[in-house]
Structure 1
Amino acid sequence: MAMRRIVGIGTARGVDVMERVVELLEIASPAILALDENPVWFSTLIHMRSSRELFTEEFLFDQKRHILRRGGDVGKLGALLYALRHAGTPVHFADGVSGDILSDAGELIGVYPYVGDVEFAASTDMMRTPMELIKQRIPRYPGMDFDYELIHAYQVEAPDDIRDRALGPRNVFTARVLNRILMEKTGDTLAFVGHCKRFLKEAFEETPGLTEEEKLAYRPLFDLLDAESKEFFDAAAP
């Protein structure tokens, strides 16, 4: 039976919303988690999955301190903390864009996400899928071997404003992933944790450098989702 309800939790950069995200997820009690993605969260998960001594709440709180020091977004760490406390909760990275990210020469020609494969994003539980399978299915980078340092280097080249300007096509990709999960998976609630600009058009329109065409074309994520029930919570709200 298809999932009927989606809960969206909006995050922000430079604000300690980690525990608030956990609180909201405890209330929502999702069967499946899906996340925005960036190099820090991907790195955090890879380290946790690769080293059992890092598969701990302490490691996530250490990461939070480092990220806040750099003005980053710690909301998705709250989602990983929830998944750690609720063993068995699937976690999907649901971020990406369609089209090529790198040229044949390996130069960055697209925007930020590391994966543009809807099937990969919708079917892969990043908490439990064997690491070797995850490595084999990263489709966007040159060479046969998974090279996390290479992926990280490509991703961090894109500053926040550039990534945010791409939220229009990123929302389209994410909606395709989330709609697949809603249709194909079981359970009552799917929760998506992502930057508040994903959900709020007025927040997106504050992004520096936007053209009028980009503003007019932008569609908030919930406008693209097929679910009986849609609820949004802003974790950074006072």
Structure 2
Amino acid sequence: MILEEVALPAADGSALRGDLALPASVPVMVVFAHGSGSSRHSPRNRVVAAALRRAGMGTLLMDLLTEREERHDLLTAEYRFDIGLLSSRVVAAVDWLAGLPATRTLGVGLFGASTGAAAALRAAAERPARVRSVVSRGGRPDLAGDALARVAAPVLLIVGGEDPEVLRLNREAAGRLAAPHRVEVVPGAGHLFEEPGALEHVVRAAREWFRRPGGDAPGAPGGRT
């Protein structure tokens, strides 16, 4: 397992911090897009990433904002809901992985939480040849807007059963997806999946989705029709 801190170049010339992990034989790379007010150090994302690495997958946990932008955002909240900016940073990560010898031939999965889910979905719409699957945890896919209809990769929307407003928004967004998709409701879980067993449910569902994009979702290879 190769673990290293990396600097990813963004389209505007800024550098984004990331933690890259490459198992010896990796079938897929999973890029994590954190939610509003968070960072690559998100404890829940790190739990999911560690589980995916144990399953043999590569992971890239990255900051979607530069250090200067993070300081500014703490005062103004200007950037945390700028889905255009955040999605451009996810696209930059996908392109960066395409340029690395160790990862250039690998498919990419995207794991987004909260607003990071919208950024991941927009990035998937912009890089259909590279992104093979998307998983959202307690996400706001509705914020991806018109990009939802252009996503080609299978999408898994994981939502807590005790998070009714976000569940409603996810179901509405699912209706706008043309790609194979599934809404996975975690019984008894709230928005942060802090309840016993909730995050483990997320891990299992995400791991299976990245292993077999689309699973048995309608329209997926081998799925229901």
Which TM-score band (shorter chain)?
0.3 to 0.5
With structure 1 as the length reference, what TM-score do the two structures score? 0.34
* Higher relative contact order (Cα pairs below 8 Å, separated by 6+ residues): 1
Larger radius of gyration: 1
